Amino acid sequence: MLTRLSEFLWWDRLWLPSGLGWSDLEDHDGRVYAKPSHLYAALPCAFALLLVRYLFERDRVRLSPESSPLLDGYFCTVSRFPSQTSWSERKVEIWFRRRRNHCRAGLRKRFCEASLTFDVKRKDFKEQVIHHIATLTLLAFSWASNYIRIGTLVMVTHDSADILLERSANGMFVVFTSLFALTRLVILPFWLIHCTWVYPLELYPPFFGYYFLNAMLVVLQILHFYWAVLISKMLYKCLFSKVTQCGTALEGDDRSDEEEEDSDSPKEEHRRVNNTNICRARARVNGH
């Protein structure tokens, strides 16, 4: 039964155009083709990276806030940002920062959440699961069926915008949003998906692999539209809100795990707000 199932899954007519078979992808005449067995090498590499992260990432020592039932009640029931109290403004700011830090997950907990099944169920959890499945399926399928060029181009369009998320600045966040829209909302659908949808029919009749590849790409495109709307809302709030209010305006999105310092200088506050915005955006588009 397993043999029949394997034969069906690797049936030539299922994944390759008519007239072509897996034997055509064997190495010959000095040409070396990608093979499905190469994908097994990704498994030990993935486990090695997880082990390295586990060994070298350590949680920071967090200072506990002073005992204050009044502030703690305000924090839990009203807002995570301070209002006027009998304490000095600096003392209240420090208390709320330490209290917010205690509500954030540590590095080890966030590391454990990098296994998707143990992740905190965010409001877009289902979309992330679909995105992960579609991405991994496309990577494996494009390699096994020798669609190397289109697979590489799709990866480039996804990775090009993510580089800017490492820069903690609102200006870079604006550039990231623009590049995200250009690569994932323009280049991907109107160039890459257009090529995979139209040009193959000029050479071969439609086959299952053709429909399968384009269906997965369309799923990714739908998710890109969904996340583009969320990122645009974040950008709008950040651009049209005061710097000191930007973090508050986006506080409803609890994706940020950026830890705050016990400093209330304008420079530190501005840096924290920028890092928060970048971290939230990175969470929206993580993993492709």
Greater pLDDT, 182 or 73: 182
Distance CA(285)–CA(98), nearest Å, equals: 28
Of the candidates 147, 141, 134, the residue with the CA atom closest to the CA atom of residue 195 = 147
Work out the mean pLDDT of the chain and round it to a whole number.
75
- Beta strand residue intervals within the chain, DSSP E: none
Instruction: Compute the average pLDDT of residues 54-83.
Output: 67
Question: What does the pLDDT look like over 86-102, one tens digit per residue?
Answer: 556 666 677 677 777 66
Flag whether the pTM goes above 0.85: no
Per-residue confidence at 190, pLDDT binned at 50, 70, 90? Answer: very high
**pLDDT of 251 higher than 50:** no
Lowest mean pLDDT among 19-23, 186-190, 272-276: 272-276
DSSP string, 201-231: GGTS---HHHHHHHHHHHHHHHHHHHHHHHH
- At residue 57, the pLDDT reads 65
**pLDDT of 288 higher than 60:** no
